[in-house]
């Protein structure tokens, strides 16, 4: 697949088929993603790839925690966000909501419980950073996540980055026996899209450079 076609056509998938991915394919995706740039080539990313029945057990643990704590998807902000950002979030919800309702689900319930269930994906990559690094190196994890998503698409896999997992970091570390010194930043669900799920028709709209670029001549 052409790189620019992949960039332009990629979408986050929120309903996956219950079809396993071979270890060989996942290893190739990770190998390709490892070409992401990083400061001084330190390559600080650490990945816990959870697959098959263990992925399902992890989801059950997280959904129990959700029932107890009800921590939901929300913008991560330290102060009120500018109207333009909230308008984009509302537009996304307004466009996706009817598709989810068409499937017989409530929007908030589907997004929150779906995130913790990894939307049924057979594999999920949990991206960690060792706490010996400063927060600046989170940028490297973001670069790796972008390469991972594109590498997956290049190998015929769909994906969905999931941030809600951060709110349940303690449960994930306990369940997978991950040291406290590791910082969870993001999950990326990986698998084959369910073609019958209406939600997979959704592709979020994008603003053009005129909205986010200041030219300095």
pLDDT score of 70: 80
Distance (Å, whole) CA 83 – CA 85 = 5
pLDDT for the residue 77:
74
Model pLDDT for residues 13-34, shown as the tens digit of each residue: 999 999 999 999 999 999 999 9
Average pLDDT over residues 187-216: 95
The confidence score (pLDDT) of residue 148 equals 98
Between residues 94 and 79, the one the model is more confident about:
94
73 versus 209: which is more confidently predicted? 209
Give the rounded percent of residues in the chain with a pLDDT score beyond 90: 91
Domains annotated on the chain, with CATH? 3-69+83-198 (3.40.109.10)
Q: What are residue 161's phi and psi, to 5 degrees?
A: -70, 140
Q: Which residues pair with 47 in a beta bridge?
A: 127
Q: Angle 23-33/138-154 helices, nearest 10 degrees?
A: 130
Is the predicted pLDDT of residue 39 greater than 90, yes or no? Answer: yes
Structure tokens at 9: 């056509």
What pLDDT, on the 0 to 100 scale, is given for residue 1? 59
Encode pLDDT of 87-113 as tens digits.
Answer: 999 999 999 999 999 999 999 999 999
- Average predicted confidence (pLDDT) for the chain: 95
Cα–Cα dist 205/98, whole Å: 16
Provide the sign of the torsion angle of the four alpha carbons 144, 78, 68, 97, taken in this order.
negative
What's the predicted TM-score (pTM) here? 0.95
- With tokens 């330190």, the residue in question is 42
Is residue 81 scored above 90 in pLDDT?
no
Phi-psi region of 161 (alpha: psi -120 to 50; beta: other; left: phi over 0): beta
63 pLDDT above the threshold of 80: yes
Radius of gyration of the chain (CA): 18
Q: What are the percentages of helix, strand and coil residues in the chain, rounded to 5?
A: 50, 15, 35
Look at residue 172 and tell me whether its pLDDT is greater than 80. Answer: yes
Biggest CA-to-CA distance, the chain: 55
What was the pLDDT predicted at 181?
97
Average pLDDT over residues 133-150: 97
SS3 at position 26: helix
Question: Is pLDDT of 60 > 80?
Answer: yes
Q: What is the pLDDT of residue 110?
A: 94
Distance CA 92, CA 98 (A): 11
């Amino acid at each position: 697949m052409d790189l620019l076609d992949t960039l332009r056509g990629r979408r986050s998938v929120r309903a996956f088929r219950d079809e396993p991915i071979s270890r060989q394919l996942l290893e190739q995706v990770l190998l390709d993603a490892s070409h992401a740039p990083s400061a001084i080539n330190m390559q600080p990313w650490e990945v816990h790839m959870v697959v098959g029945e263990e992925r399902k057990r992890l989801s059950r643990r997280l959904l129990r925690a959700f029932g107890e704590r009800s921590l939901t998807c929300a913008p991560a902000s330290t102060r009120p966000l500018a109207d333009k950002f909230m308008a984009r979030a509302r537009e996304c919800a307004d466009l996706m909501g009817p598709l989810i309702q068409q499937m017989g689900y409530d929007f908030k319930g589907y997004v929150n419980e779906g995130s913790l269930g990894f939307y049924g994906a057979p594999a999920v990559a949990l991206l960690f950073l060792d706490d010996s690094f400063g927060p600046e190196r989170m940028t490297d994890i973001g670069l790796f996540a972008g390469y991972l998503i594109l590498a997956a698409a290049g190998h015929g896999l769909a994906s969905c980055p999931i941030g809600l997992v951060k709110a349940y970091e303690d449960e994930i570390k306990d369940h997978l026996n991950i040291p406290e010194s590791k910082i969870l930043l993001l999950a990326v669900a990986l698998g084959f899209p369910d073609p019958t799920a209406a939600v997979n028709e959704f592709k979020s709209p994008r603003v053009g450079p005129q909205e986010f670029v200041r030219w300095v001549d």
